[in-house]
Structure 1
Amino acid sequence: MILSLFTAIRFRRGRRKSGMVSLISIVSTFSIAIGIAALIIGLSAMNGFERELHNRVLSVVPHGQLYPEIGNLDNWRDIQQELKDNSPNIVSSAPFVSFTGLVENGSKLGAVEVQGVDPVQEQQISALPNYVLNDKWSSFKADQQQIILGSGLAKSLAVSEGDWVSLLIPVSSEPNQLKSPRRVRLQVQGILELSGSLSNNIALVPLSDAQNLLDMGDSVTGLMINVNNLYQANQIIGLAALNLNENMTFNSWENSFGFMYRDIQMIRQIMYLAMIVVIGVACFNIVSTLVIAVKDKQRDIAILKTLGATNRLIRHIFIWYGVISGLIGSIIGVILGVLMSWQLSNIMKGVESLMGHKILNSNIYFIDFLPSEIHFLDVLIVFVTAMLLSLIASYYPARRACKIDPARILNSF
C-alpha cells in the first residue's frame, strides 16, 4: 500500500507532461471543491433556519393549548394543578384569553388577535417578554388601560409607544340583529418586535383586563402548555388531556407552525440527495482524468510490470491516484464551505447592500436575515461521501490499467 501510494504521488507530479491530463485533473478537483462547498453552505443555512425557528418562533408561541370543547374554562386553576401533579412531561402552564377584534387609529384599522396573558406567568412559559422593546414588559400591568402591539401592526397603524388606540370588540347579538362593537380606549405600552407574520396581527393585554372586556369573570379561554420535548408535543399534550377528569380539546405548535419545520426537514433531505448527485458528477470527472492518465502512463505501467509489479499493485496505484484528487478537492471544498458558512450572514448583508433590498422580507418570513449554523457532522458526512464516490470512480480506470500488455507497449516505442 505504501509503494502504491508513493508511486501514485510520483505519477501525479509527472502529470504536467500531458497538458490534457493536467487540465482535466484540475477541473475535476475544483468541481469537487465547489460542489462540497455549496452543499456545506446549504446545509448550514438549513441548520440556521431550524435554530431560528426554535429560538424565535417556538420560544414565543406555546407548545400547545388546552381548552374546553364548548364555552370557557372555569376551573382552570384545578386543571393547572392536576397537570403539575400528574404530567411530568409538562414543564409549565399558564391561562390565556383569546378573542378577535379591530384596532383603530384615526382612519386606519387593523384586524388583530388579542391575547390576554398573565404578565408574571407569561415570563415563565415564553420568551415573548424578551421581544418587547425598551423593557416595557416590566411596566405591563392590569387595570392601567394598556396594550402591547406587534411591530407590523403598529407600523400599519402608524402608532408608537405612548399613543392611544381604540380596540373594537364584537358583541354577540340575537339572530337577525346587529349590535355595534364595544369600543375601548387603550394606551400602547410597548411594541412587540417579532419578524414575519407573527407581528402583523397580534396584540397583548393583561389577563384580568381581557376577562373584564369580555365579561368572563374568572374564566379563561384555556391553558397554554410547555413540554420538555418540543417535537413530541402532540403526544404529550394529548396524553395529558386524556388523563384529565373532564373532556378537553388540545392542539400543539405543529398545527400552526409545523409546516415550517417540515419544510426545513424536506429541503434538508433534498439537499442530501443533491449532495450525492452533485458530488457524484464532480467525482466521476476523475474517470476522465484517470482514463487519460492511464493512456499517458502506458510506458511507465509496462516498465513496472516488467520489473515484477502485479496487477494488484497497478490497480492500487491508480485508485490512489483518483483518491488523492478527490481528497485535495474535498479538503479545499470543506475549508471554503466552512469559512463561507461561518460568515454567511455577513456575506448576505453585503449582497443586500449592493442590491439595495432585503432578500428575506420580514413581513413574510419569520426572520429578515440568512442564518447559518455549522454542524460538523454534516461536514463529515459530505466529506466521507465525496471520498467514497472518488474511490468508486477510480476503480474502473484502475482495472483498465491492469490490462495493459507490456510487450506490445514497449515494442511500439
Structure 2
Amino acid sequence: MFRPFSIYIGLRYTAAKRSNHFISFISLVSMLGLMLGVAALILVLSVMNGFDRELKDRILGMVPHASITGYQKPIEDWHLVADIVEQDVRVIATAPFISAQGMLTYGGQVRGVLVQGIDPVAESKVSIVSEHMLKGEWNNLESGEFGIVLGDLLARYLGARMGDKVTLVLPEASISVAGVTPRLKRFTVVGTFSVGAELDSSLAYIHIDDAARLKRIKAGVEGVRVTFTDLFKAPIAAREIAAQLDGYFLVSDWTRTHGNLFQAIQMEKKMIGLLLFLIVFVAAFNIVSTLVMVVTDKKSDIAILRTLGATPGLIMRIFMVQGVVIGFAGTLIGTALGVLLALTVTDLVAWVEQVLDMQFLSSDVYFISYLPSQLNWNDVVMIASSALIISFLATLYPAWRASKTQPAEALRYE
C-alpha cells in the first residue's frame, strides 16, 4: 500500500525502540499528560453541566419562573389575572398561591419553614414536586382537612411521620384574653417529598384554602405563579405581561431568588474549564521538548536523508508526523476515558459513598445530594479538536529545527 515517505519514516521513528530510553520516557509522559488533561476537562465540564441541569430542572422546577403578586393586598380576581397571563404564547401554565413563613414544631424540635398554600391540581402544572413524592399522595392536600406535605429532610429533622400532627407557628400575633400570643395551627402530615435539594429541608405545602384561613384572607390569593417555555426569558416576559394588567402588581422572578447560584455555576464552569485547558496546553507543549530531544538524537539520520536528496520540507513533515501521532494518541485515549468517566461518575461516586458509608454532597450544604453529570458532545468535540490543534502547533518549531540541520555539521564527528 502506498504511503507518503514522510509518513512512513515518521511512523517508524515513533514506533522504533530507542537506545536513549529517557526520550522514550518523555514521549510517554507527554502522551499521558495530554490524555489526563483531556479526560479531566471532559469530566469536569460534564459535572458542571450536570449541576447546571439540576439547577434548572430541580431547583427552578420547584420555585416559580416568575410570580405576580398584589400590591399590599390580595388579588381578589385572580382567575381573571390568570386567564390574561395564560393567553401569552410564552406562558405554559399558572397557579395561585399564598405564602407564609414560620416555624414547625414537633416532639420538642423546632424548624424554620416556608409554607406554600397551593391548589394541588394547578400546582402540578407549574412545579415538579408532585412527581417526587416519597410518601403519601399529592392529592391528599384537601380543603379544610389541614394536611401538610413536608420536605423529606424537614420531616426527618422534626422526627415527624405520616399521620403525625405538627404545629405551625406564625410570627403574626393574636390578641386574646390570655394576652398577645403567636398564631398557632396544628396540621396533619399527609405526605413527604424529596427533590434532592436544599428545599427538602425548608419547604412545606398546605392547601390554599387552609392557608387563606390561617392568614385570614377573606377573598382571593396573594399571587399567581407563572411558568414560561423559556425560563431565561421569564424576567422580561413577566414584566411585559404584568404591564398589560389593570391595577398595581409586584413582579418577581427566579433570578432574584436563585440567580446568584446559577451565575456562580456558570462562572465556575468557565474558570475551571480555563484552568484545565491550561493543563491540556502545558501537556501538549511537552511534545516540543520531546521532539527537540528526538531531533538532537536523530541528527545523523537527518544528515543521511539530506545527502540522499531529502528536502527540508520532507524532513520537517517527518517530525511533524511523529509529534502529531503522540498528540493524536493522547487525545484519543483521553477523550475515550473522559467520556467513560462522564457517563459513569454519578454511579461511581454513589458506590464509593456506599462503601465508605459517607455522603460527599449533603443537602444541608449543597443544593443537591449527589454528583450529577451531563455529557455534552459539543464540549467533547471542542476539547478534542483544541488538543489536536495545539499538538500540531507544538510540532512546528522542533520540525523546523530538524529541517535546518546541515549534513556536514551533523556528520563531522560520526
Match of 1:287 in 2: 288
Match of 1:58 in 2: 60
Match of 1:188 in 2: 189
Match of 1:48 in 2: 50
SS in 2 for 1:348: helix
Equivalences for 1:14-413 in 2 at 5 Å? 14-85=16-87, 87-171=88-172, 179-413=180-414
Task: Return the alpha-carbon distance in structure 1 between the equivalents of residues 328 and 161 of structure 2.
Answer: 58
1:320 Cα deviation after fit: 1.5
1:179 Cα deviation after fit: 2.3
SS in 1 for 2:18: helix
CA deviation string 1:205-226 (max 9, x = no partner): 1011111222212221111010
Native 8 Å contact 1:315 1:401 kept in 2: yes
Task: Return the alpha-carbon distance in structure 2 between the equivalents of residues 65 and 219 of structure 1.
Answer: 15
User: In the comparison of the two structures, how many residue pairs are matched?
Assistant: 410
TM-score normalized by structure 1? Answer: 0.95
Native 8 Å contact 2:42 2:383 kept in 1: yes
Native 8 Å contact 1:91 1:226 kept in 2: yes
The amino acid that maps onto 1:111 is G
1:318 Cα deviation after fit: 1.1
1:354 Cα deviation after fit: 4.3
1:357 Cα deviation after fit: 1.4
1:15 Cα deviation after fit: 4.7
SS in 2 for 1:239: helix
CA deviation string 1:335-363 (max 9, x = no partner): 11111221101221233234431110122
CA deviation string 1:115-169 (max 9, x = no partner): 1000111111111111222351132211112111122221121111110122223
SS in 2 for 1:94: strand
CA deviation string 1:302-331 (max 9, x = no partner): 111112211111111111111110001111
Native 8 Å contact 2:120 2:141 kept in 1: yes
Task: Return the alpha-carbon distance in structure 2 between the equivalents of residues 24 and 178 of structure 1.
Answer: 83
User: Root-mean-square deviation (CA), in Å?
Assistant: 1.8
CA deviation string 1:348-396 (max 9, x = no partner): 1233234431110122212211111211111111111111111111111
Native 8 Å contact 1:283 1:386 kept in 2: yes
Native 8 Å contact 1:196 1:364 kept in 2: no
| Gap change, CA 1:24 and 1:162, over 3 Å in 2 | same
Task: Return the alpha-carbon distance in structure 1 between the equivalents of residues 163 and 243 of structure 2.
Answer: 45
| Gap change, CA 1:178 and 1:276, over 3 Å in 2 | farther
| Gap change, CA 1:215 and 1:404, over 3 Å in 2 | same
Task: Return the alpha-carbon distance in structure 2 between the equivalents of residues 357 and 237 of structure 1.
Answer: 43
Task: Return the alpha-carbon distance in structure 2 between the equivalents of residues 270 and 153 of structure 1.
Answer: 35
Native 8 Å contact 1:195 1:365 kept in 2: no
SS in 2 for 1:401: helix
Native 8 Å contact 2:107 2:159 kept in 1: no
Native 8 Å contact 2:162 2:189 kept in 1: yes
The amino acid that maps onto 1:203 is A
Task: Return the alpha-carbon distance in structure 2 between the equivalents of residues 214 and 269 of structure 1.
Answer: 45
1:232 Cα deviation after fit: 1.6
Task: Return the alpha-carbon distance in structure 2 between the equivalents of residues 350 and 230 of structure 1.
Answer: 34
1:196 Cα deviation after fit: 3.3
Native 8 Å contact 1:171 1:179 kept in 2: no
Task: Return the alpha-carbon distance in structure 2 between the equivalents of residues 403 and 178 of structure 1.
Answer: 98
Native 8 Å contact 1:111 1:201 kept in 2: yes
TM-score normalized by structure 2? Answer: 0.94
SS in 2 for 1:359: coil
Task: Return the alpha-carbon distance in structure 2 between the equivalents of residues 141 and 104 of structure 1.
Answer: 22
Native 8 Å contact 1:195 1:363 kept in 2: no
The amino acid that maps onto 2:283 is A
CA deviation string 1:254-311 (max 9, x = no partner): 1111222212211211133123310111111111110111011111111111122111
The amino acid that maps onto 2:315 is I
Native 8 Å contact 1:319 1:394 kept in 2: yes
Native 8 Å contact 2:140 2:147 kept in 1: no
Runs of 4+ in 1 over 6 A off after TM superposition: none
Task: Return the alpha-carbon distance in structure 2 between the equivalents of residues 124 and 319 of structure 1.
Answer: 60
CA deviation string 1:222-244 (max 9, x = no partner): 11010110112111111111222
CA deviation string 1:56-110 (max 9, x = no partner): 111122111111222222221111111123x221221111001122222232222
Native 8 Å contact 2:66 2:227 kept in 1: yes
